[in-house]
Structure 1
């Protein structure tokens, strides 16, 4: 059993969705382009790959393999290594790159201290490859589904451009869970029409996209309840969004007044967790609870939500918000914090240690997978090229043999 964030999976387990609302939609099929479109796409992808590489340095053999994957996914003619060398010769001739070693080139415009960002397409293609390898069952977005200002409405073209036309790999044609209350809708989603992402219209357009006010996803193996995922709507907890929104407008319909909403929410979550008989309990939210990067710890979540998680023996809290990959272990409980927020923008270059134990930190783009069975949880972080950056496994506290290893 496993799942991926900005990807997720859970094996052959049956699932039951408990929600206040449910909706449904249809995946799109990518189409190819003409020869000129293909060449332009290849050049664009190669430049994104080059400009986003650490230090601006790219191995041409790896680049050829990555770009062959891109064209295959887009149903365009396969890339030959010769075409990559043709591109590099032109770029070198106009002074944009320099050769470092036999097969290594460097983008001359890159500041080594801030490597830049790779196009989203790179991460998404690697998500597709990992999703196929793990045979994923579902995908979870940790928020900010439509960056930077959410959707304007149910017919906003951003839904097609930022979701349907992007996640086209066959392995990603699985349910996506993005909720707004009990959920992982991000603060940037709230800056648009938040209710649009709840609308059943979107699921009629593409039935992978599941967005509701409140839900729990659970899975069972045979007769045993394996895992409950509790989706938390963390944006209303952040007081500054209410009191100091600046130039931004937040859609608080169905949420305001804040105090009453949060009080009811915490009560309902505590009841739901106490009723859970699942072997594993996992909470998914957008905002960080513990973080060593730009946004840091979210004080409102530590003050209001953390005690509920600890009192109910939650195993993992998984979030986005900070644009990097991270694993932190609590020093006073078994709770583990995982950040998977590097699907798009990254390389913020901010690091502020906190009092808990930092196990892994990657200041770059990538995604995360989780595989579960009755006794063990196995996490993997991947970079934008699909390389494994970090592994961590843990046995369930009630297992006969305890395991906590990297």
Structure 2
């Protein structure tokens, strides 16, 4: 197992490091669309036993379909904990059907899903999730971490999203022990990812620059801030003027504005948690919005990027918008 895993890492890395930005082609041709719209959902991964889903996953999936239909969606960002509680075993694990394909069935969700792994995925076989990209029309998971570049139609603006593996950066956690990440299993692997990230941030000319991972930088809920990311990732976001950081891990919806960066927690795809025990562990007055009420039935985020701004809307599965905010494009 280990040997093949290492082989995979070495084969793929040169392509990651010798870099030329390729743009993702979205199906916006022929439409009069002049923005890019997408959904952000985390911690959506069902259950390991029948019926393999939760009521919240179902309700959220239905509302995601309606929202994609009404507000438009060109793709979905799936921010980890894709399969509770121990990921998948292999590329033909039935969980891909039971918890993903059979649940997000709306026509409007038959769009690219860009995926990263969470701590529960790392309890199983993440390479199997990566390889599933070859078997699925919409599942896109090219490597543990990767870059997405988009042109905003009918404008000269661009959007870049850097997709991270925060478990490889910070270590895994046992959620049932309420642990914090204790440090990466491989320092070399963590440093390589961090170096890649710094290079991509430093050279980015994108008008909108988003970074996405599973663990939060800021959270007031059960897991709270991830000190490893506060130390290693936040300074890079500030230094290179990222627009926003997107994550899940805590099972609710949260929004922070801090040092001119938006911090979005969208971890309400499968469970809801109203816990606010870390409310004093985030920068003063940075929290702008929080909901963890079970009565919302779950939730997700809709984003729209236009020539000049990024509109962020938090939605509940009950079908109403809970909070909306706007971030402006980078002043390069």
TM-score, with structure 2 as normaliser: 0.77
Of residues 313-322 and 209-218 in structure 1, the stretch that sits farther from structure 2 once superposed is: 209-218
Higher Rg: 1
- How far off its partner does 1:223 sit? 7.0
Q: Return closer, same or farther for 1:240/1:129 CA change in 2, 3 Å cut-off.
A: closer
* Structure 2 residue corresponding to 1:274, chosen from 193, 197, 202: 202
Find out whether 1:205 has 2:135 as its counterpart: yes
Q: Return closer, same or farther for 1:118/1:322 CA change in 2, 3 Å cut-off.
A: same
Q: Return closer, same or farther for 1:296/1:157 CA change in 2, 3 Å cut-off.
A: same
Aligned partners of 2:38 and 2:72 also within 8 Å:
no
Distance 1:389 1:223 in 2: 29
Name the counterpart of 1:252.
none
Find out whether 1:188 has 2:120 as its counterpart: yes
Distance 1:272 1:347 in 2: 34
List alignment gaps of at least 5 residues for structure 1.
Answer: 8-43, 49-116, 179-183, 248-255, 400-406
Name the counterpart of 1:295.
223
- Measured against aligned partners, the alpha-carbon deviations of 1:60-88 in whole angstroms (never above 9, x if no partner) come to xxxxxxxxxxxxxxxxxxxxxxxxxxxxx
Aligned partners of 1:144 and 1:150 also within 8 Å:
yes
- SS of alignment partner, residue 148 of structure 1: coil
* Structure 2 residue corresponding to 1:231, chosen from 151, 163, 180: 163
Find out whether 1:338 has 2:264 as its counterpart: yes
Q: Return closer, same or farther for 1:246/1:118 CA change in 2, 3 Å cut-off.
A: closer
Task: Say what the alpha-carbon RMSD is for the aligned residues.
Answer: 2.5
- Measured against aligned partners, the alpha-carbon deviations of 1:6-36 in whole angstroms (never above 9, x if no partner) come to 29xxxxxxxxxxxxxxxxxxxxxxxxxxxxx
- How far off its partner does 1:135 sit? 2.1
- SS of alignment partner, residue 133 of structure 2: helix
Name the counterpart of 2:67.
130
* Structure 2 residue corresponding to 1:350, chosen from 262, 271, 276: 276
Q: Return closer, same or farther for 1:223/1:389 CA change in 2, 3 Å cut-off.
A: closer
Name the counterpart of 2:327.
394
- How far off its partner does 1:138 sit? 0.4
Q: Return closer, same or farther for 1:245/1:370 CA change in 2, 3 Å cut-off.
A: closer
Name the counterpart of 1:375.
308
Name the counterpart of 1:153.
90
Aligned partners of 2:243 and 2:327 also within 8 Å:
no
- How far off its partner does 1:297 sit? 0.3
How many residue pairs end up in the alignment?
A: 274
